[in-house]
Amino acid sequence: MNRKLNLLLVLLVISLAFTSCYKREAGVGPEQDIYVFAPPSVWEKLQKPLETVFSKGVVTPQYEKYFRLRYIKNSNELDRYTLHRNLLFVSTLESKGPIADLVRKSISSSEMLADVKSGKNFLFKKEN
């Protein structure tokens, strides 16, 4: 009887160990930071509108923004930010460079591409 109890206890511990191993890691970095990747020419045109959209906040004794935009100038640093939360990739279809290439590759179907060209859609959300 004692041996069966020990075996059951060992199986329980092993099963708990394996189930806890599959926990998905949360993104790193502050939750309020949005890391923006865009070609410089696109960032020049869209910096003010993006800041207007994301500068809303809450009035406490000191005004606090809900989000802070962090423009990443060097697109070669993309690998460094892959585990961060809130990545925003901004580009036009005509832009050149690694970020523009990434945005074009993210438009997976011809229907999505047609919607972008017609102005019907311009924003796509991708979960981790």
CB 120 within 8 A of CB 113: no
Strand partners, 128: none
Radius of gyration of the chain (CA): 22
**In terms of pLDDT, which residue wins out, 18 or 34?**
34
* 55-101 pLDDT tens trace: 888 888 988 889 999 999 888 888 888 888 889 988 888 888 888 88
Cα separation values, 31 from 51, 57, 69, 104, 118, Å: 17, 14, 11, 27, 34
Question: Against a cut of 0.75, is the pTM above it?
Answer: no
Q: Say if residue 44's pLDDT is above 90.
A: yes
DSSP assignment string, 64-107: EES-EEEE---GGGGGGGTTBS-EEE---TT--SHHHHHHHHH-
Query: Taking the domains of the chain in order of start, what are their residue ranges?
Result: 33-118
